[in-house]
């Protein structure tokens, strides 16, 4: 992907003739240079999805004026839409429990500048990774969670997320079920990595469930979090083949590699505004 500053427009609306022509004409009439364009028409729902990257320096105005000038067209077509500016790094709050692999992977990618993000803080229900997080110069917040204090704990997590001006919350193997209130407050802003190929083996110990069923493939699923456990819109998935000789510990070990890769890809799609949710599904323009 080019490092040049760009605006990313994404939208969905009921399908009809003239959407692409109207949007393209709006951009071109304002000297906009489209560097990437993606379209999808869902025949089942009669809904149209679009994503376009526009070279920021080519436009006659900035992103705020774009929003103002584009709004009348959006109303005409009944669009759900947004536009983002690559010059503004998204602020990613990481949440983790006692499994380190996804946290370490994302910190490494951030440190190597493979992810164009800011990490304003890491939140955990354990103290385990305070040292490594603070070594990276990132604030670490310990928010214990128990059956007795969940309401207060998640109120604190939401407070920290707001204070950090977070754009997205990533559950990097955060092994707690979030409150319904939290899920409803941040729709499409909480990303989870689940260690199975959903919808199979929801909940805890999915690798052990897979072992008991004698499956030949195990996988990982990156999805948005909803109040319904492990049922949110799926962003990305991958699998690896196993056989009868593999024990549960082997499945866990294999799965960690898949989890890291799937979470990183899913997060990147989100950061690059490549995902449009529609009901329980996503359209992902890779």
CATH number at residue 105: 3.40.50.170
Q: Could you list the residue range(s) of the whole structural domain that residue 80 is in?
A: 6-85
Q: Per-residue confidence at 200, pLDDT binned at 50, 70, 90?
A: confident
Same domain, residue pair 256 and 271? yes
Mean pLDDT of 94-104: 97
Residue 240, pLDDT > 70, answer yes
Final residue belonging to a domain, choices 85, 119, 154: 85
Same domain, residue pair 223 and 270? yes
Integer Cα distance of 34 and 69 in angstroms: 17
- Tokens at residue 160, please? 């920290």
Mean pLDDT of 200-224: 87
The number of beta carbons lying within 10 Å of the beta carbon of residue 41 is: 12
Q: Which one has a higher pLDDT value, 157 or 211?
A: 157
Residues with catalytic roles: 230
Q: What is the CATH number of the domain that holds 57?
A: 3.30.70.260
Final residue belonging to a domain, choices 59, 85, 111: 85
Q: What percent of the chain has pLDDT over 70?
A: 99
Same domain, residue pair 162 and 269? yes
Residue 101, pLDDT > 70, answer yes
Mean pLDDT of 176-182: 94
- The model's pTM: 0.94
Same domain, residue pair 110 and 47? no
Domain-embedded: residue 254: yes
Integer Cα distance of 28 and 271 in angstroms: 26
Same domain, residue pair 30 and 78? yes
Mean pLDDT of 258-277: 97
Final residue belonging to a domain, choices 85, 117, 152: 85
| Residue located via tokens 């128990």 | 146
Residue 276, pLDDT > 60, answer yes
Q: What percent of the chain has pLDDT over 90?
A: 85
Q: Per-residue confidence at 2, pLDDT binned at 50, 70, 90?
A: low
Q: How many helices (H) and strands (E) does the chain have?
A: 8, 14
How many structural domains are present in the chain? 2
Q: What integer pLDDT is reported at residue 53 of this predicted model?
A: 98
Q: In terms of C-beta density within 10 A (0-12 exposed, 13-18 middle, 19 or more buried), how is residue 172 classed?
A: buried
Domain-embedded: residue 143: yes
Same domain, residue pair 141 and 39? no
């Amino acid at each position: 992907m080019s490092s040049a500053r760009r605006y990313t427009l994404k939208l969905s609306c009921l399908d009809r003739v003239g959407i692409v022509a109207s949007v393209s004409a709006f951009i071109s009439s304002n000297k906009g240079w489209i560097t990437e364009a993606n379209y999808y028409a869902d025949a089942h729902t009669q809904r149209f999805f679009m994503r376009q990257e526009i070279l920021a320096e080519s436009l006659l105005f900035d992103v705020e004026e774009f929003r103002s000038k584009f709004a009348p067209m959006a109303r005409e077509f009944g669009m759900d839409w947004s536009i983002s500016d690559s010059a503004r790094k998204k602020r990613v709050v990481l949440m983790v429990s006692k499994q380190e692999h996804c946290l370490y992977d994302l910190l490494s990618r951030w440190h190597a500048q493979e992810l164009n993000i800011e990490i304003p803080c890491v939140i955990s229900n354990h103290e385990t990774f305070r040292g490594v997080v603070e070594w990276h110069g990132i604030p670490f917040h310990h928010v214990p969670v128990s059956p007795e204090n969940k309401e207060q704990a998640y109120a604190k997590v939401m407070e920290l997320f707001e204070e950090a001006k977070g754009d997205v919350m990533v559950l990097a193997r955060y092994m707690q079920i979030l409150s319904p209130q939290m899920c409803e407050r941040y729709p499409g802003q909480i990303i989870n990595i689940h260690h199975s190929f959903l919808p199979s083996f929801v909940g805890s110990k999915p690798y052990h469930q897979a072992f008991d069923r004698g499956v030949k493939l195990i996988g990982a699923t990156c999805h948005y979090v909803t109040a319904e456990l492990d049922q949110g819109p799926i962003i990305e998935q991958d699998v690896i083949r196993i056989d009868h000789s593999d024990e549960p510990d082997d499945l866990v070990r294999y799965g960690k590699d898949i989890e890291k890769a799937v979470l990183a890809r899913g997060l990147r799609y989100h950061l690059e505004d490549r995902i449009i949710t529609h009901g329980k599904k996503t359209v992902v323009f890779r």
